[in-house]
Amino acid sequence: MKKHKLICVAGARPNFMKVAPLLRVLRSDRHLEAVLVHTGQHYDDQLSGQFFRDLELPPPDHHLCVGSGSHAQQTAEVMKRLEPVVIAEDADGVIVVGDVNSTLAAALVAAKLQVPVFHIEAGLRSFDRGMPEEINRVLTDAISDALLVTEDTGQKNLLNEGIPEYRIHLVGNLMIDSLHHSLASARRSDVLQRLHIAGKRFGLVTLHRPSNVDHPEALEEILGALAEISEAVPLLFPVHPRTRASLDRMQKRQNGRITYLEPFGYIDFLSLMSNSSVVCTDSGGIQEETTALGIPCLTLRENTERPVTIEQGTNTLAGVRRNTILAAWNEMLEHPKTGRIPPLWDGAAAARCLTVLHSYFGIDSEQIQALPLLAANAVA
């Protein structure tokens, strides 16, 4: 029997954690086969190769080597280079994850070739079109055939945008599948010893959103708050290349007890995160991972597309001004959030994705479990 061939597209650091558990279930499936495409949006070993090794990802079947560029250049380059691959592979579907430029570019290529698009992590909305990712999310969802959602606000957002209910599936969170899979390796990591912080209290910082790091005044404001927080708990700050470029331009002087470091791979970062007292971040995925780990998180943004991490998890929206960040920090000290793990963030999201794919292709498998599909009356 011919297997249905699915192209899985990954391009940037946060994609790799989502694709890894999916590939594991696809590659052991009797009915589906997976082809992995790396667009090359991220290409440094620190942002890409190390993640492939840490997540035990197989080498990509196709590497498009698109590299960096403006949004238009990068999106167009992925489209130009992916189209012949989708045609040559004669794919039955294209799976895209997350909200990066590669996600939108791949969805556009597939939709125009009339190849079904499966969007994993669909429906998240910050309602802030100033974020490039928000534009990627809205457009990708509009042209996807099946929309696989991590949290129930995702379902509501999609229904509000007129996406038919039958296309929407709440499957849980693939990031948390990867986290479960890698926690044991993270416990064996020697990163705490290498940094001489074993048994010590520390906080962790990540910043890479253009709105926070591209403008010196915005970055100064955040660094001012972090310097003050670091007087209470020393901070480790692995610096993303975008942020490094800004810091270099600003010729940043040492301020507070902040240690600037190179980016870490997945396993070492997971070890650091799970041992930290607080995480200050503008990342989407880290808001989810800290909620799953029960670690307090201050999100240095005005909004989040992942409200479940605030309503149910350990996340607090701290804003981007010095005074709002410090107010959130003090509130966190006085009233620490305990939080709980959101529904279906249980390490089994990939199995639910597989069930959706089986059902899409009409594969009648005894292994298909009942899906927590959206009930019409559950929608406000």
Residues marked active site are found at 208
38 beta partners: 10, 63
- The rounded distance, in Å, linking the Cα atoms of 287 and 315 is 6
Among 31, 33, 43, 247, binds ligand UD1 (CB under 6 A): 43
Contact between 305 and ligand UD1 (CB under 6 A)?
Answer: no
Query: CB-wise, 241 or 294, nearer to ligand UD1?
Result: 241
Q: Return the number of the residue (75 or 230) whose C-beta is nearest ligand UD1.
A: 75
Q: Residue 355 Cβ, how far from ligand UD1 at the closest point, in Å?
A: 28
Report the residue from 133, 141, 151, 268 that binds ligand UD1 according to the rule CB under 6 A.
133
Question: How far is it between the farthest Cα atoms of the chain?
Answer: 64
Q: Does 47 bind ligand UD1 (CB under 6 A)?
A: yes
Structure tokens at 358: 């089986």
Nearer CB in complex with ligand UD1: 89/154: 154
Residue span binding ligand UD1 (CB under 6 A) among the ranges 9-17, 247-255, 314-322, 326-334: 9-17
Distance of CA 274 to the CA centre of its chain: 17
CB 111 within 8 A of CB 103: no
CB of 285 to ligand UD1, least distance (A): 8
Q: What is the rounded distance in angstroms from the CA atom of residue 121 to the CA atom of residue 108?
A: 17
Angstrom distance (rounded) from CA 276 to CA 201 = 7
Residue 42 interacts with ligand UD1 (CB under 6 A): yes or no? yes
Nearest residue (CB) to ligand UD1, 97 versus 354: 97
Of 21, 14, 3, 9, the residue nearest 354 (C-alpha): 21
By rule CB under 6 A, what string of x and - marks binding of each residue 84-123 to ligand UD1?
A: ---------------xxx----------------------
Helix (H) or strand (E) holding 213: helix 210-213
Tell me if 132 contacts ligand UD1 by CB under 6 A: yes
Mark the segment that binds ligand UD1 (CB under 6 A) among 145-153, 239-247, 320-328, 359-367.
239-247
Instruction: Compute the distance between CA of residue 346 and CA of residue 272 in angstroms, rounded to an integer.
Output: 21
Please pick, from the candidates 6, 8, 13, 356, the single residue that binds ligand UD1 as defined by CB under 6 A.
13
Structure tokens at 329: 């920090």
Binding of ligand UD1 at residue 214 (CB under 6 A)? no
Q: How many Å separate Cα 160 from the centre of its chain?
A: 23
62 touching ligand UD1, by CB under 6 A: no
Tell me which residue of 19, 3, 16, 91 sits closest to 46, measured CA to CA.
Answer: 16
Compute, in degrees rounded to 10, the torsion defined by CA atoms 224, 287, 240, 119: -150
Binding site for ligand UD1 (CB under 6 A): 12-14, 41-44, 47, 68, 99-101, 132-133, 208, 240-242
